[in-house]
Amino acid sequence: MPSGTSEQNAIPPRRSKRLESTSKPQMAPHTVEKREARRKKEPKKSNKSRTLAKKKKKEEKTEDAYIERILDERGGDVGDEPKATKNGRKSKRKKVPHQYLCSWVDGAEPQWVDASYLEGTPALEEWEDAEDEEEETHDPPDLVESKCAELCEWLKTAKRPTFLLGAGISAPVLATFRGKAGLWTKNAHENPLAEVTASTAQPTKAHRALAVLERNGYVNWVATQNYDDLSARSGFPTSKLSELHGNIFTETCSKCARVYHRDYEVPLDDSVDHETGRRCDDDKCGGDLRDNIIHFEESLPWHELKMSNCKFVGSDLSIVLGSSLKVEPAASLPFKSKRRSRSLNAKAVIINLQATPSDDAADLIIRATCDEVMDSVAKALVGESWDR
């Protein structure tokens, strides 16, 4: 999809320079006289005004081309340190102009565009707001196996185990935000799941394993930062689930607080104050329905956050599944019991492919996918055929 309006992203296409004759034809005398008369009447233009005029004229003459998104960036010094020449002087580095590789709405081949043409466009703003991709690390299979075995022993003795879910648990079916080619990174265009919606996604093996472990007494509470509804659709009981960032299929009446769970995504792109454009079915109410998705700088739902705080403070084993732990207050939940009560001898486990700001506070870190770890744990605690 194009970023912003077509007018904002209108960029003149690059054109090959026409060859010009090195010799200029002789002007007729009357032409020279007319030019001299015009120069006397018109004020002399500065170099800056001439440049702007030429740029404007060029833009008017060329056809408009519309940018879809920025794919890459280059510019500045190229190559290693300057090398010394025979006379002892250092050679100058080769420089290239600051440019962006752009894809086009009409499907034309991506091409490099000078940065000056992109100033003030939504495409450039989106690129500058995007995050650099963080490196992912995978533990060797033998190490993953030994760590999963240790986690299983902790789950066997834990009385109140809790789980915090991040986008990583849904990574096999939905694009993450900060993971490899995440939606908030500069490489989002490389993600094959970028256009997949929650409506078509199905619970992952890690979701199903969590539901099976709960039925066998190994899960006391789950708090999820995901709004994809995959936890509930996997069969995990909503009575033990806190959806901290909302649910994309749920809308609530602003007057009577009645909750509607739909089979389609309820938020609108142009919504004002979370309104979905529908009204309460109750004839006596008729209140506006609003989605419950939590955006940045908005407060988390009071009841969901209160229940999560209570459960994690009293937990003796907190497990993070696929979260970067960068968004508060959810990021602090797995470590509340360790900081509040030493008598619990509480432990915290992080299962994530990327480093997190809370790695130093964890008792165990497993660099593997959520599916891989939860499948191993479910097989050890429930049986090899747990997913049949």
Active site residues: 245
Q: How far apart are the first and last CA of the chain?
A: 40
Residue 285 assigned ligand-binding role: yes
For residues 112 and 102, give the distance between their C-alpha atoms in angstroms, rounded to a whole number: 6
3-state secondary structure of 194: coil
Nearest to 366 by CA among 382, 381, 379, 355: 355
For residues 177 and 194, give the distance between their C-alpha atoms in angstroms, rounded to a whole number: 10
3-state secondary structure of 7: coil
Q: SS3 sequence, 339-387?
A: HHCHHHCCEEEEECCCCCCCHHHCCEEECCCHHHHHHHHHHHHCCCCCC
Q: How would you class 244 by CB atoms within 10 Å of its CB: exposed for 0-12, middle for 13-18, buried for 19 or more?
A: buried
For residues 187 and 184, give the distance between their C-alpha atoms in angstroms, rounded to a whole number: 8
Residue 280 assigned ligand-binding role: yes
Structure tokens belonging to residue 132: 């650099």
Phi and psi, residue 128, nearest 5°: -70, -30
Within the chain, how many helices (H) and strands (E) appear?
A: 9, 14
Q: Residues within the annotated binding site for Zn(2+)?
A: 253, 256, 280, 285
Q: Residues within the annotated binding site?
A: 253, 256, 280, 285
